[in-house]
Amino acid sequence: MKKISIIIVLLMGVFQLASAAVTKAQADKAYQEEKYADAIQMYETILQNDGESADIYYNLGNSYYKNKNIAKAVLNYERALLLNPGDADIRFNLEMAESKTVDQVTPKSEVFIKTWINNLINCMSEHGWAMTGIVTFILLLGCIALYIFGNRIVIKKIGFIAAIVFLVVTVCSNLFASHQKDELVERHGAIVMSPSITVKSTPNESGTDLFVIHEGTKVYIEDATMKEWREIRLEDGKTGWLPASAIEVI
């Protein structure tokens, strides 16, 4: 009887967990019914229970946007883009949300080649580049075999040239995947959550006021060694200090 009672208790616990679990379908339904506050709560619960997902962050960003919380919308679009940088829908919605923010920061101009390389790296996620690297490495081995064992000069030339191309792509894919992984691990970007905050010249309230930024603005954390303050940099190059509580890391 004791064993049966334990089994019954365990089964009841499993059923309770199953009934309490929030599914993406339920959250999507709440969003479609324009119950945005409910959808936000459900998507947040899914993230807490199941971990990060570009799709969930994207849907959460949409829910916050519809609920007129632009700062949270920008934050979650940025998180979705970090996981899936090649998604055009995420990028479009992020730009649309950013257009609603108070601060329209113009990024510093950079060398064309650097912009081109960054765009190339961001056309796929870490997983996408890693898979590309694996596939091209296998093709590289095949081309090397073609070069070594080919019985005609033409075949050997094709194998040699293709091997060089696949070698370059393999190396670049691994470098790009490593870069994307560093972006996911380090996470220097953050979004201002306070309605407005004054950036200081030093990490204390008595520091000189430099400029004011508002919620939804993206900043980059330059120094996170202090407990209550962060040194930040805007995309236009301006730097300063603000309270750690005023921003949320992407």
Question: For position 104, what pLDDT does the model report?
Answer: 87
Domain that holds residue 144: 112-186
Tell me the C-alpha distance between 66 and 60, whole Å.
Answer: 10
* pLDDT, position 183: 83
**Contact by Cβ (8 Å): 229, 170:** no
> Are residues 8 and 73 both part of a single domain?
yes
99: tokens are 């257009």
Residue 106 forms part of a structural domain: no
Query: Is residue 230 in a domain?
Result: yes
pLDDT of residue 17: 38
| Residue type, position 248, single letter | E
Check residue 83 and give its pLDDT. 92
CATH assignment at residue 34? 1.25.40.10
Residues 87 and 49 placed together within one structural domain of the fold: yes
Q: How far apart are the first and last CA of the chain?
A: 53
pLDDT value at residue 10: 45
Extract the tokens encoding 198. 């004054």
Q: What local confidence, expressed as pLDDT, does residue 118 receive?
A: 87
Taking the alpha carbons of 129, 135, 139, 140 in that order, is the dihedral positive or negative?
positive
Whether 177 and 208 map to the same domain: the answer is no
Q: What is the pLDDT of residue 69?
A: 95
Per the domain annotation, does 104 fall within a domain? no
Structure tokens that stand for 217 in this block: 């603005």
SS3 letters across the chain: CHHHHHHHHHHHHHHHHHHHCCCHHHHHHHHHCCCHHHHHHHHHHHHHHHCCCHHHHHHHHHHHHHCCCHHHHHHHHHHHHHHCCCCHHHHHHHHHHHCCCCCCCCCCCCCHHHHHHHHHHCCCCHHHHHHHHHHHHHHHHHHHHHHHHCCCHHHHHHHHHHHHHHHHHHHHHHHHHHHHHHHHHHCCEEEECCCEEEEECCCCCCCCEEEEEECCCEEEEEECCCCCEEEEECCCCCEEEEEHHHEEEC
Per-10-residue mean pLDDT for the chain, 250 residues long? 48 41 86 93 93 94 95 97 92 95 85 86 89 95 92 91 96 93 88 95 92 95 93 94 95
pLDDT at 233: 95
Q: Are residues 44 and 70 in the same domain?
A: yes
The two three-digit tokens of residue 26, written as one number:
């339920």
Q: How far apart are CA 36 and CA 29, in angstroms?
A: 10
One domain for residues 48 and 84: yes
pLDDT at residue 147, as a whole number: 92
Last residue of a domain, one of 146, 171, 186: 186
Q: Residue 105 falls within a domain, yes or no? A: no
Distance from C-alpha of 193 to C-alpha of 87, rounded to nearest angstrom: 25
Q: What is the reported pLDDT for 21?
A: 65
